[in-house]
Amino acid sequence: MTETVERTSYVGRRGELDAVRALLAAAPLVTLTGPGGVGKTRLAARVAETEPDVVWVSLAELRDPQLLPDTVAVALGLVDRQARTRTEIVVDHLRDRTLLLVLDNCEHLVEACARFADEVLAACPGVRLLTTSRQSLGMAGERVFPVPPLAVPDPDDPGIADNDAVRLFADRATAVVPDFAVTAANAADVARACAALDGLPLAIELAAVRLRSLSVRQLADRLGHRLALLTRGRHRVSVRHGSFQAVLDWSHDLCGPEERLLWARASVFVGGFDLAAAEEVCSGDGLDRADVLDVVDGLIDKSILLREEHRGAVRYRMLETVREYGEDRLRAADDLDRRRRLHRDWCLDLVARYQAEWMGARQPAWIERMRVEHPNLRAALDFCTADRDEAATGLRMACDLRYHWFVVGFEEGRLWCRRLVALVDPSVPERITAGWLDALLALMQGSRDAYLATIDAVDAEAVSDLDRANVLQVRGLKALVDNEADAADLLAAASARFQAAGDRPGELWAQHNLGLALGLRGEVDRAREVLHRARDGYAAMGEVFWQSWTLFNVAATEFLFGDPAAGVDAARAGLRLQHRVGNKILTGFLLSMIAGCTTALGDHARGARLLGAATAAMRRIGVYAIEYAAFTPRLRAAMEDAARGLGKDARDRAFASGAALSTAEAIDYALADTDGGAPAAHPDRDGPLTAREAEIARMVAKGMTNQQVASALGIARRTVETHVQHILGKLDLANRTQIATWVATHG
């Protein structure tokens, strides 16, 4: 859930809450409609608070309808490791679940949301959909609830202080004037102000900020004057829009020239920005770079910008209606295209730095940074697809984000590569890179037909040593996954070409896969040598992502052909590393290797329980087996060994008990020396927190709200709130920011 929902207290709407809950009890699809600023998102959030299982998907930052299913899949924690559409993956995951799925801000994606909702509701009887939009989805069976403005008070009503609009005004007023109160002396003026704003909650909030410098009477007089000018000669139907326009215009007029420029120019950011980004994109032509910080402070003071902290770094954003107003001003000034290009250039520079520093000690920080900036990256790539003259730049960016697509989704990476390749001249060299990258991502998805068509085409065009090395690497990976005889030869050839080209990351990438291929060919001693050399190379760079995969390859080789005790050690080392980059797929794979090796060592009960935990961890993200062809029969054999050692019923009970563990609990169990022993060294166990508390602390440190944590973990929001209170108490901390600092300090 977006931080917008929780940044201030919620006032009123008791009748609306009851009405929406009644509609959800009677129909699987309810849409909250109304103009911007009427409070649709807040009402949806309030409804969701009492639901036992909620997944919240914010669509305000999404511009491409094709990426809607991907966005939902990410919110559900799913990965695209299957040769199916993302909608199919989401539907399959939700088929047997009972939950409330909230799609917030659908108005610019109405058709895509309607198609998606139709497919989900047709196949998933336990799913209810709550959407917010300025217009309905237009679907059969949809229940539409127009969210009304807050009822405006009668100035002569003796109970005026209990009116929802007045309560909201007073609540926001005390944030800027702590001793403000509704009294007999000012009640009529408060009522006039609320009536002038037509009861629109966001307009009331923005207007209440003005009490820093105006009395309530002055505020009401000025609002009445502005609204009269705006609506003179108009029909009453436009007054509500005019009320909101009036308060936005007034907020804009009260800004200084530099604040107006920054408001408009910052509208090109999607999903937020930091100070350095604002200085780069928004300065110049009337706004000095050195003054940007002071101007940002001014816009925060006027409630135009919202300040948030993410892992100790401060970011800023605007509510969508406020951002749209700024964008309109930027368009009117004929500066929109130029600022979007500057925004694209800022993203391009960010991606170049990410690419240059990926294979280093800052890798975990870069992974997290690019996750946060993903909406901005999407916007920059979208800008490049809108103009053929910009497409080559966009293609370079998409190719430099090759590792990012392994984190956020293979299908999205393929989508951008295909779109941009279709727009560029055949002479653009990045076409070859995009070709083998598209083939690689298709292979990782399991889309074999797409892989074959793409790799054959790029193979025919590749000329440079580096291009040939990457084509060989991708072909070698396919052979490795399918346990084909030529895997080792292809990967060895790729490694040699990378080395000749001076590409050390490419060489290590080929080497760590070559090691497993050698193991599958029966050359276990040579496999160990190659794998340990690759791991040492990654460790020397401070790299974590591929080093963790190398440890999986070590464990897999030992599981299949070597020393299972060494396999357990390698897989545990991989688990300890991977938490720094949050690789959920690798977690399941490593747990499977520990399970297999443990069974091979004769501990059948523990092995069966670990395999149950591994299977559950993978299914939570939409993965149902390790894709490597060599492993499925060996893991099945391990389960059969456990059945022979324990008896089938006991084996099944152990498997079921493991499947009941959360992923965090499964990791703790896998890192414990024995069923009853203390856990081995593990980052979650440093300090006084339980595994679940540590998991939630890390999510809080990422800037996630309680509702987002609850949705990600599949638990109630109130449970998360209790955990957060326990964390604060155990660590003697006062707020969420201090939790983030504690997490950063303790790894």
List the chain domain ranges: 3-146, 160-253, 255-334, 335-461, 462-543, 686-745
Give the C-alpha distances (Å, rounded to integers) separating 455 from 461, 467, 486, 505: 10, 12, 17, 21
Which pair of structure tokens corresponds to residue 150? 């807050």
Distance between CA atoms of 189 and 178, rounded to whole angstroms?
19
Residues 214-245: tens digit of each pLDDT: 999 999 988 877 666 544 444 443 444 566 78
Record: fold of 686-745:
Arc Repressor Mutant, subunit A (1.10.10)
The one-character DSSP state at 269 is -
200 Rama sector, left if φ>0, alpha if ψ -120 to 50, beta otherwise: beta
Enumerate the β-bridge partners of residue 315.
308
Enumerate the β-bridge partners of residue 306.
317
Contact 243, 203 (CB under 8 A): yes
> 422: exposed, middle or buried (C-beta count within 10 Å: 0-12, 13-18, 19+)?
exposed
**Residue 680 pLDDT:** 42
CATH code of the region 335-461: 1.25.40
Give the C-alpha distances (Å, rounded to integers) separating 100 from 29, 50, 128, 220, 394: 10, 11, 5, 41, 37
Record: fold of 255-334:
Arc Repressor Mutant, subunit A (1.10.10)
Distance between CA atoms of 742 and 747, rounded to whole angstroms?
9
Query: What's the start-to-end Cα distance of the chain, in Å?
Result: 25
Record: fold of 3-146:
Rossmann fold (3.40.50)
Enumerate the β-bridge partners of residue 58.
104
The tokens 């730095």 sit on which residue?
353
Residues with Cβ within 8 Å of residue 393, at least 6 apart in sequence: 344, 348, 384
Residues with Cβ within 8 Å of residue 432, at least 6 apart in sequence: 458, 461, 462, 463, 464, 467
Query: Taking each helix axis from N to C terminus, what angle separates 164-176 and 201-208, rounded to the nearest 10 degrees?
Result: 30
Asked if the domains 255-334 and 335-461 are classified in one and the same CATH topology, the answer is no
Residues 353-365: tens digit of each pLDDT: 999 999 999 999 9
Contact 44, 132 (CB under 8 A): yes
Query: Mean pLDDT in runs of 10 for the chain (747 residues)?
Result: 42 84 95 90 90 92 92 89 83 93 96 97 96 94 93 82 90 90 91 88 88 91 69 42 76 93 98 96 96 96 88 88 94 97 98 95 93 96 94 97 92 95 93 96 90 93 92 96 94 97 95 95 94 95 95 94 92 91 90 95 94 92 81 86 91 94 92 57 52 83 81 69 74 73 70
**Residue 237 pLDDT:** 35
Residues with Cβ within 8 Å of residue 571, at least 6 apart in sequence: 551, 552, 555, 590, 591, 593, 594, 597, 670
**pTM of the entire structure?**
0.84
